[in-house]
């Protein structure tokens, strides 16, 4: 069966529309991943991105997919076709990359799991538009120009929606969420490392609830 870009655009738009904030997380052990994700889901953030930056990342993703009811779990920092295959094999529902290589874009054509590739310039965005992408990550959002930069892309890159990620906080997120070309934002601030280390699950749920309210 031919995998259509239109279907993948639809799928990623459904996922990204579930909540205003996608928590971007990194874990060393599956139990912590499960408990943190449960706390986030309780706070209203079901879309969870776990980055492939630790040796245990795939185990953590599998555990969350298996054990956290209501979670939609994806992989972040997907850099190579091999990493993409591994993530698809364990049931990731979406894939996020900080940028896009020809190899990565070609590899994703073989899978029906949508990729949200990162861009920071109009030329990068145009190259992905030519491949049929309608949803992109804007990364690193704050460092690359912030919400004003992203706003200035809207009239020229019509039809594109972004998930800005990188350097965002609860205070900065509303500036992005107010833009017509933003579908949601991503960030680690909803599950800070110190709260995870302290196993302060209620604290994480409270941060998630505040983030959830940004979409109302």
Stretch that binds ligand 3PG, among 36-44, 64-72, 159-167, 171-179 (CB under 6 A): 159-167
40-to-62, 67, 96, 214 alpha-carbon distances in Å: 17, 14, 19, 15
Kindly tell me which of 5 and 210 has the beta carbon lying closer to ligand 3PG. Answer: 210
Largest CA distance in the chain: 48
* 165, 181, 205, 212: which one binds ligand 3PG (CB under 6 A): 165
- The stretch among 61-69, 151-159, 185-193, 201-209 that binds ligand 3PG (CB under 6 A) is 185-193
Contacts of 206 (CB under 8 A, 6+ apart): 43
Q: Does the protein bind ligand 3PG through residue 192 (CB under 6 A)?
A: no
Q: Residue 149 or 189: which CB sits closer to ligand 3PG?
A: 189
CA–CA separation, 93 and 107 (whole Å): 16
Q: What does the alpha-carbon distance between residue 21 and residue 23 come to, in Å, rounded to a whole number? A: 6
Instruction: Identify which of residues 78 and 159 has a Cβ nearer to ligand 3PG in the complex.
Output: 78
Q: Write the binding mask 20 to 59 for ligand 3PG: x where contact by CB under 6 A, - elsewhere.
A: ----x--------------------------x--------
Name the active-site residue from 137, 142, 161, 172: 137
In terms of CB distance, is 130 or 140 closer to ligand 3PG?
140
193 a catalytic residue: no
């Amino acid at each position: 069966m031919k995998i259509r870009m239109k279907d993948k655009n639809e799928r990623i738009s459904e996922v990204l529309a579930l909540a205003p904030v996608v928590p971007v997380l990194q874990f060393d052990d599956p139990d912590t991943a499960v408990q943190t994700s449960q706390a986030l889901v309780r706070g209203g953030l079901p879309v969870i991105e776990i980055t492939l930056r630790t040796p245990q990342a795939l185990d953590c993703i599998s555990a969350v997919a298996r054990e956290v009811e209501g979670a939609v779990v994806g992989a972040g920092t997907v850099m190579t076709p091999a990493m993409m295959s591994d993530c698809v094999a364990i049931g990731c529902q979406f894939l996020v990359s900080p940028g896009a290589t020809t190899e990565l874009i070609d590899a994703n054509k073989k899978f029906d799991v949508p990729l949200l590739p990162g861009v920071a310039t109009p030329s990068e965005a145009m190259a992905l538009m030519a491949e049929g992408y309608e949803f992109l990550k804007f990364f690193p959002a704050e460092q690359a120009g912030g919400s004003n930069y992203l706003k200035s892309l809207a009239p020229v890159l019509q039809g594109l929606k972004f998930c800005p990620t990188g350097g965002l906080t609860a205070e900065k997120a509303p500036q992005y969420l107010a833009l017509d070309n933003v579908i949601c934002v991503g960030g680690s601030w909803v599950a800070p490392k110190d709260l995870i280390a302290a196993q302060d699950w209620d604290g994480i749920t409270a941060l998630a609830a505040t983030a959830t309210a940004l979409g109302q």
